[in-house]
Each structure stands twice: as structure tokens, then as C-alpha cells.
Amino acid sequence: MREEKALFIIFGGTGDLAQRKLYPALFNLYRRGHIQKSFAVIGTARRPWTDEHYREVVADSIRGSVDADFYTEAMVENFADHFYYQSHNVNDTEHYMILKKLAQQLDDEYEIGGNRVFYLAMSPRFFGTIAEHLKTQKLVTDHGYNRVVVEKPFGRDLATATELNQSIEKYFPADSIFRIDHYLGKAMIQNITAIRFGNSIFRNLWNNRYIDNIQITLSESLGVEERAGYYETAGALRDMVQNHILQIVSLLTMNAPVSFNDQDLRQEKISALKSLKVYTPDEVAHNFVRGQYGPGEGVHAYRDEDNIADDSAIETFVAGKLEVENMNFAGVPVYIRTGKRLATKATRIDVIFKKMPTNIFPGVALTNNVLSIDVDPNEEITLYINDKDYDTGFKMKQLPLAYRNQNRDCPEAYEKLLHDLLRGDATNFTHWEEVKYSWQFVDAIRSAWDMETPAFPNYESGSMGPQAADELLARDGKQWFFDP
């Protein structure tokens, strides 16, 4: 196993993301041997923690999220010994000088060789100032790599995203900035490229001659929970569509990359996002639906949740019909929907193939072939075909040919992404140009919506969203394939 050497500096080391995702992901890399001896982690945040307390927090986060069959207490303790805490205010120059000394000391002690990962697990409003200080206070090394990782949200529209990007690119070269979209680390999302470009049957069918429509569903059964403050400034369009959903759309509709490497793949994703038709306000009204949940069985309406305005116009649901204007996908509607307090939690893609051009079986109904990719919760691929009933006479039924990943120890999204990061592989991170075209598409919807006050709430908690989301397909003579 090749050992990746790195010093991680995690800004926001006491935060939710660090504890729920980053520490377990680093531990899994450790137990699999991707990081071994030559690594150390400095956690920084405002709280005055000691190294001992920090190590306890790290150990607890592992005990709380990694399956007990996969580790021993000794492993957890040895791993946590690599963690150091430095209390820090991101605006205070002196703190960066202290951080630099500690980083140098750990680099020597663990023989890291100058590789640094600066993980910005905190509010994006601090990204610019952190990037500036890292550079001016010389926390970057000249004898290893220096990589910056940033989390979503990356801006709230194209203008703010551009500003944010410039504030980082001023101090770090574009190829050292890794923008996380954790959906790109999910096994079944990564499988899209494998299915499309590793199988000649799909290569030949993956276009407007054979695909009738594509449906993407990212539904949550929970409400806004403790993210009210952020959600009231974002809404489902910014929170889910601009990043996760459009990333999935780009993987499904891009042309074949010349080769499976980060540059070629990103090039095609950028082109796919550039091909999205940016709607006029009238087209937005025709092709997009927004919703906000009302009460349901035992649960409040969005407007009655804590820290939510009584007259909030924030959408907790979006459905839309996208048009991809390239040779292969022109004319194939891509229907998307995402929302909170829906009937079930699911992330899935349903690719609906066209009906047979003619039906030679008198009195027998033929269904569309469908390729379903269940991303969450099951990691399952199903191909639906028409099959003869095993009976006398000649009847047909829809037969699901399914494969479900049963491996309990599959690397989780953050583990895979951190591993890619250590190897310098940016395939599963979002390029700035992708962010740019995504915002361009989303801004057109947002600005059309901002011209009118919506009649909210307009869907019941526990349903699959407003009726208009079904009508969006019905008027095209279609329906949602996934109907929980």
C-alpha cells in the first residue's frame, strides 16, 4: 500500500462537518493504510481546547460512526495521537505565525516532506482571509504540494461565487483548489461514468434516439432541522440544484471524454453544463415548480419551525424540466426534483428509454425499458426489461434485473474524496467553470422567482411535493417512474 504523506490543517476543527465526516474518513484511510506514519492533523477553531481534549473528540467521532468490527481501541488511540489542536481566530495574523511554527515542527517530527492540505471546514465568508494569511504568513511550503479544500456553498449566485473564487485564486493556483461536492464521492454517482463508457450497449443507446427522458430525484424525509439559519438564506435551488443535481446532470449528458482523467472528464462536464438552456422568466414559469412544506402527520409546517420567518418565501422543494442543447441530448427532457419532508429519503436516477417503435404482440402492453440507479439508500442498479410471463399463453411482465452492492465496508464519499485529494486527482472535484455555468443556469430561475411572491405552503409533509411537479411531466405525456 502506498503511503500518502501529508499535514492537514483543518479550519473549523471543532465543527459538525469535521466531527461527523472528516475524522471518520481520515481514520478509514488510516486503517486501510493510505495514511500511516507520516501524517499529522492540526485542528483549529476559536475554542480553547487542549490536544488531549481534541484527541478525545476525534476518538469519539470514530467510535460514533465507524463500524466496531473494523477497528480496535488501540488503532483509534494511535490514530488520535497524530492530532494537535491550535486555538485560532481566522482574522488574527499572530495566530497564523503560531500555526506556522507548529506546522513546521510536525512536518519535521513526522517526516512529512512539505505536503500540506488546508481544509476550510467553515463559513465561506472566511475563505478569502484564510487564503491570504496562509500565503502572506508563509504557511505554504516550497518543497511539497499545497492544496486547499473548500466546502459548499460556493457563493449564492454567479457574482458572489466569482468574487469568492478570485479571493482564493489570488493566492493559490487554480489546480491546487479542490471544491468538494460530496455527491461526486458517492459510489453510484461514480458508477455513472463506468456504466456509460464501459458498456457498448449503453454507449450506443445513450442519446436522443433511444432515451425518452431522464429523471433525477433527491428527496429527503426530514425537515429543515437545525440548519434553519442557513436554509433561510439559501433554499432548495441553491442548496441542492446548483451543485449536486447539476453535477449529476452533467455526468449523465456529457460526451465521452478522450480519456478517464481529471482534465478530459472535466472538459466534457463543463461542455454539458454550458449546453443547458438558460431560461427566460416565462420559460422558468413553464418549466420550474417551487414548493414549501405545510404540516403533516405529527410535524410542523416549514413556517412554524424554529428560527423560520412566519411568512418565509424560501422554497423547500424544486422540480424542473431541463433542456440540454447538444447533439446527443437535444429533445430529451431531464426532469429533476428535490425537497424536504417528502414521502421518503432517496437519491436516484431513472433513465427512461423509448418505447419499441411498433408492438408486434397483439393485446399486450409493452413498458419502457428503464435503467434505475439507486444512489441512496441501497446502492443498486436495476434494468427493467419486458419479459414473457412463465405461463401458458403469451403475456408480458416488467422484469427488474437488479444488482445491489452488499459490501459493508465500502469507502464512504468523504474517504474516497480525501484519498483522491492526497493523490492530486481532481476528477471528482468541481472545476470553477462548472460552478460558473451552474450558477448561470440557476440565477435565471432565482431572478424569475424573486419577481413574484409564491403562494406557500403548497405541499403536505409526507407527500412527494406539489401537484404541479406531477403536472410538469403529465403535460408531456409522462410520469415520475419513482413513485414511493
Binding mask 104-143 for ligand NAD (x = CB under 6 A): -----------------xxxx-------------------
Which position's Cβ is nearest ligand NAD? 15
Total residues at interface with ligand NAD (CB under 6 A): 20
Residue 152 vs residues 111, 123, 471: alpha-carbon distances, Å: 32, 9, 32
Binding mask 84-103 for ligand NAD (x = CB under 6 A): ----xxx-------------
Hey, is 187 helix, strand or coil?
Answer: helix
182 is in an annotated binding site: yes
Per rule CB under 6 A, is residue 338 in the interface with ligand NAD? no
Q: Can you tell me which of 12, 291, 320, 339 binds ligand NAD, judged by CB under 6 A?
A: 12
Write the Ramachandran bin of 114: left for phi over 0, alpha for psi from -120 to 50, otherwise beta.
Answer: left
111 is in an annotated binding site: no
Per rule CB under 6 A, is residue 190 in the interface with ligand NAD? no
Q: Following DSSP, what letter does each residue of 387-420 receive, concatenated? A: EE-SSSS--EEEEEEEEE---TTPPPHHHHHHHH
Residue 368 one-letter amino acid: N
Is 244 catalytic? The answer is yes
Q: Least distance in Å: CB of 25 to ligand NAD? A: 12
Per rule CB under 6 A, is residue 17 in the interface with ligand NAD? yes
21 is in an annotated binding site: no
Q: Which grid coordinates belong to 371?
A: 435503467
Query: Which are the contacts of 91, defined by CB distance < 8 A and separation ≥ 6?
Result: 129
239 is in an annotated binding site: yes
The CA-CA-CA angle for residues 172, 175, 178, to 5°, reads 85
Q: Distance between CA 174 and CA 87 in Å, rounded?
A: 29
Please tell me the chain's helix, strand, coil percentages from 3-state DSSP, rounded to the nearest 5: 40, 20, 40
Q: Can you tell me which of 37, 46, 345, 475 binds ligand NAD, judged by CB under 6 A?
A: 46
Burial of 276 (0-12, 13-18, 19+ CB in 10 A): buried
Residue 126 or 210 having the CB closest to ligand NAD: 126
The DSSP call for residue 257 is P
Q: Can you tell me which of 6, 8, 9, 14 binds ligand NAD, judged by CB under 6 A?
A: 14
220 is in an annotated binding site: yes
186 is in an annotated binding site: yes
b/e 29-63 (16+ beta carbons within 10 angstroms → b)? bbbeebbeebbbbbbbbeeebeeeebbebbbebbe
Q: Least distance in Å: CB of 111 to ligand NAD? A: 29
Report which of 319, 315, 317, 316 is spatially closest to residue 337, judged by C-alpha positions. Answer: 319
**Per CB under 6 A, which region of 67-75, 82-90, 205-213, 358-366 contacts ligand NAD?**
82-90
Residue 84 or 456 having the CB closest to ligand NAD: 84
Binding residues for NADP(+): 46, 152
Residues marked active site are found at 244
Binding site for ligand NAD (CB under 6 A): 12-18, 45-47, 88-90, 121-124, 151-153
Binding residues for substrate: 182, 186, 220, 239, 340, 345
